[in-house]
Structure 1
Amino acid sequence: MKFGIFYEHQLPRPWDDGAELKLFQDALDQVELADRLGIDFAWEVEHHFLEEYSHSSCPEVFLAAASQRTKNIRLGHGIKLMPPNYNPPARIAEEIATLDLVSNGRVEFGTGESASRAELEGFNINPAERRAMWLETTEQVCNMMAMDPYPGYQGKYFSMPVRNVVPKPVQKPHPPLWVACSNRDTIHLAAQLGIGALTFAFVDAAEAKKWVDDYYETFKRECVPIGHTVNPNIAMVTSFSIHHDREEAFRRGFDGFKFFQFGLGHHYVFGHHKPGRTNIWANYEKVKAAMGAEQLDFLGGGTDGIGTPEDLRQHLRKFADAGVDQTVFIQQGGKNRHEHICEALELFAAEVMPEFKEEEERRQKQKMDELAPYIEKAMQRKQWMRELTDDEIPTYAAYGAMIAEVDTSNLEGAARIRAERWKKMREVLAKV
């Protein structure tokens, strides 16, 4: 099994001067440390307007910065918002490819729709159409990265003419594709489309096995890739705080993880939010005092990653036995302290991770050997976007060339001089 760390960039109130600066710099330090320790992935979300819960609105910038401080760790969008009002599809293709270039081919291309009212209405997106938007744009962004030139597209949610979208990514035909999943229905869809499943639901090992089995059975029977390649993988999130003293591990990590759940519930389920004024941390502390932190179970548990190294080992062993490909740690939540996060990562790398690393190469080879004939059939079922022949690729004139074709007698001054120069250049080029 592989391992990842996950960032929302949570920043509970009150906000002191320099708090966001410290938050981002600490996170970069943590990713650098994780890279040195041999952790496999660093995942970064994209959210907008979700105060306190997530200050990560530009993951491509953070991941680019992390790429220059690391060598091996995979840099994952967990996820990139695909509805065009958030990110025009061609811009996504350009950003992913550029990040792949500056990171020397280490990008994981996670995709998603978003679900919060703050974000959807903030960008004038109809919630009922977000799944259709995701399907349309995800397929076309993959085409943009893989095709030379991109043949153009006339769709329901975006359109563009023939263009060669550059740069192209290091990883061919494009970086591994993922989608955010919160339930078994989305897991099923991910398998049908040949996409890795980033599961943001806190489930126990028994439920995880059901999700894994459903994913791989569906992948084998029904997969028709949405991209130009497949990425059969399941990643599941868990809490994370370890210390040799179990009580100390809970003291350091439990409150932050529960705020992670509470903040998610506030923005997505039960909250009433006044932008710039609602204090989610204060509301959390009121509820915690009234109910007890152990009763704040909005997402079905997920605290099995908090405890001693042996506690975590047993938890991860159950996930590995269930067939989970990657476990992603929620280590930066609430007011968890930077130094405690770093200490926990070091302890995990020293005492827990090695036994799972020893098995990974063999497990991965066995898995891919088993899936190889199914992947071949899946690629045969895909309906590919047709490449244009050279004769079909349209030529378009620069604006200056278009101006040079008009009558210049009615132009004055500098405009007339420019037009005459463009006309002369056109005459020269015509003779070449």
Structure 2
Amino acid sequence: MSELEFYAFHNGAYPWVPHKSVIGEHSRTNFISLPTEFYDEALAQRAMRDFLEVLAGCERLGYDGVLHSEQHNGPIGLSAQGMVTSAYLAAQTERIHIAAVGPIMNAYLSPIRLAEEVAMVDMMSNGRLILGLPMGLGAQYHSYGVTNPADARDRFKEAHDLLIRALTEQGPFAYEGEWFNVPYVNLWPRPVQKPHPPIWIPAAGSRESLAMCAKHRYVYQAILAPRKTLLRNCDLFRELCAEEGYTPDPRQIAAVLFVHTAETDEQARREAEPHYAWIMQNFFRSTFQDAFAPGHVSESSLRGMAAGGGYRSRDISEMTWDDLVAEEWLIAGSPDTVAERLEQVTSEMGAGRVIIDIDHGSMPRWLIEKSASIFAEEVMPKFRPAGGKPVWARGEDRRPYTTSSEIAARTGGARAVPASQLMNGDIVDTRTAHVPELRHPVEL
């Protein structure tokens, strides 16, 4: 078997919504305009609790990382602020990698605010953050009202460049651009990971997103699309990497898959089929123009997506279990079946990472944990080196906080003395000024 890394993905959805057959009585979509009269506080707290605790529990199961998304104005995901979710997971875990995909960068008035949040969460987790930078669907732009979707891609590109400069360059420096003008870019705190946390880009297949991944050597998060289109996207990504002068590591492609594992193939279908139908019929219930507002993608990419059977180019609410299996969006069955099909799919894509959608929208927590546990115990070891350890257990022990002695041993030394001036005019070291014989003037 190929060596793979596994990231557990949970949507954190609120499943108590009208079915697609009656949604028209309340809203045109479950995606952005479902009235909040369907929101129940107790049920939402239960969904949020299960979402967070299931992800934190994936460390005990031995997944390489956990991944969560950011959604707005609707029930498809209750995590409306990716960095807040990541901060919680950093506090509840010790070593597992945490992938925040989003934040939606264009929802920020300035990428400097995002840079601060990224640096803070990376510091809190002691360098375990993975930063996803999705463009965000058009629906999310309607929700925030910060950016015109027609300007989204140009603004995103400039925001990305400023974000990276803020995370990596010494400040202060001035930045003047078309979208952002910041007289003092001076980031405090700074990220633990150098030059910055790893960046993943979810891409539906637009050439612009794939080219960005190739240019900056980011991970291409291959969003679900018809198999032929997805394989073509992977080939295009490798071509774009070759144009940049390198051959991508397989881990630079992360395959996104629905996976459900049970005792037998028949049991897996019995457990999961209703929940996959719920996802297809309700979770992605939105019009194409909601997902891709005018100008949100280039004309050439939009034509390619529509003509080539790309993302959202068909009514996925009509997809059946057999359709999902045939398109290889879904891998379900016994551990042996799942391992066999996983090897086939990732080999075809040339992917070295797998993002496993473990919650299936409306699936109860006990069933999510059953499938995730069987997969961890009986499938993952087949794709790992001897010993079966996740990537975070193979090298340096990265825990969220270090002891005082570790900090003292690691520091390169302070660049300045914490000092204050006393009434007699002496400037003293505040750390020792409480001891009379050490209270003497210091040189600054």
User: TM-score under structure 2 normalisation?
Assistant: 0.69
Deviation at 1:331, TM superposition (A): 1.5
Unaligned runs of 5+ in 1: 225-229, 273-286, 365-431
Alpha-carbon separation, structure 2, partners of 1:264 and 1:132: 29
Aligned to 2:94: 71
What are the residue-to-residue correspondences of 1:5-24 with 2, within 5 Å? 5-14=8-17, 15-24=39-48
Q: Is residue 2:273 matched to residue 1:249?
A: no
Alpha-carbon separation, structure 2, partners of 1:271 and 1:54: 17
Deviates more, 1:58-67 or 1:166-175: 58-67
1:319-373 CA-to-partner distances (Å, cap 9, x unmatched) read 3323202111111232101011111111011111002112899xx9xxxxxxxxx
Aligned to 2:345: 319
Alpha-carbon separation, structure 1, partners of 2:109 and 2:338: 38
Deviation at 1:106, TM superposition (A): 0.4
Alpha-carbon separation, structure 2, partners of 1:231 and 1:120: 36
Aligned to 1:179: 201
Aligned to 1:239: 258
Deviation at 1:222, TM superposition (A): 2.1
Contact 2:224 2:329 in 1 (8 A): no
Compared CA separation, residues 293 and 73, structure 1 to 2 (3 A)? same
Counterpart secondary structure, 1:305: strand
Contact 2:220 2:253 in 1 (8 A): yes
Aligned to 2:434: none
Alpha-carbon separation, structure 2, partners of 1:292 and 1:132: 34
Contact 1:188 1:214 in 2 (8 A): no
Contact 2:280 2:318 in 1 (8 A): no
Please, what is the CA RMSD of the aligned residues? 3.2
Deviation at 1:29, TM superposition (A): 1.9
Task: Letter of the 2:117 partner, please give it.
Answer: E
Compared CA separation, residues 117 and 25, structure 1 to 2 (3 A)? closer
Alpha-carbon separation, structure 1, partners of 2:319 and 2:240: 41
Aligned to 1:81: 104
Task: Letter of the 1:111 partner, please give it.
Answer: L
Contact 1:100 1:171 in 2 (8 A): yes
Q: Is residue 2:221 matched to residue 1:195?
A: no
1:10-69 CA-to-partner distances (Å, cap 9, x unmatched) read 1122554421211122122212221112111211111210x2212221121111111122
Aligned to 1:338: 365
Aligned to 2:57: 33
Unaligned runs of 5+ in 2: 18-38, 292-314, 392-443
Task: Letter of the 1:177 partner, please give it.
Answer: I
Compared CA separation, residues 150 and 123, structure 1 to 2 (3 A)? farther
Deviation at 1:269, TM superposition (A): 2.6
Alpha-carbon separation, structure 2, partners of 1:248 and 1:307: 7
Alpha-carbon separation, structure 2, partners of 1:268 and 1:60: 28
1:72-93 CA-to-partner distances (Å, cap 9, x unmatched) read 221111122111x435211110
Contact 1:111 1:180 in 2 (8 A): yes
Counterpart secondary structure, 2:186: coil
Counterpart secondary structure, 2:15: coil
Contact 2:48 2:78 in 1 (8 A): no
Contact 1:100 1:169 in 2 (8 A): yes
Deviation at 1:248, TM superposition (A): 2.6
Among 148, 154, 171, the alignment partner of 1:132 is 154
Contact 1:116 1:267 in 2 (8 A): no
Deviation at 1:96, TM superposition (A): 0.6
Aligned to 1:4: 7
Q: Percent identity?
A: 22
Compared CA separation, residues 150 and 219, structure 1 to 2 (3 A)? farther
Aligned to 1:421: none
Counterpart secondary structure, 1:79: coil
Alpha-carbon separation, structure 2, partners of 1:201 and 1:181: 9
Contact 1:177 1:231 in 2 (8 A): no
Alpha-carbon separation, structure 2, partners of 1:209 and 1:359: 30
Deviation at 1:107, TM superposition (A): 0.6
Aligned to 2:29: none
Compared CA separation, residues 121 and 23, structure 1 to 2 (3 A)? closer
User: TM-score under structure 1 normalisation?
Assistant: 0.70
**Does 1 or 2 have the higher relative contact order (CA < 8 Å, sep 6+)?**
2
Deviation at 1:198, TM superposition (A): 1.3
Among 84, 87, 111, the alignment partner of 1:61 is 84
Alpha-carbon separation, structure 1, partners of 2:174 and 2:213: 26
Compared CA separation, residues 232 and 37, structure 1 to 2 (3 A)? closer
Q: Is residue 2:176 matched to residue 1:148?
A: no
Deviation at 1:103, TM superposition (A): 0.8
Deviation at 1:265, TM superposition (A): 3.6
Compared CA separation, residues 303 and 117, structure 1 to 2 (3 A)? closer
Aligned to 1:357: 384
Contact 1:304 1:311 in 2 (8 A): no
Alpha-carbon separation, structure 2, partners of 1:77 and 1:135: 19
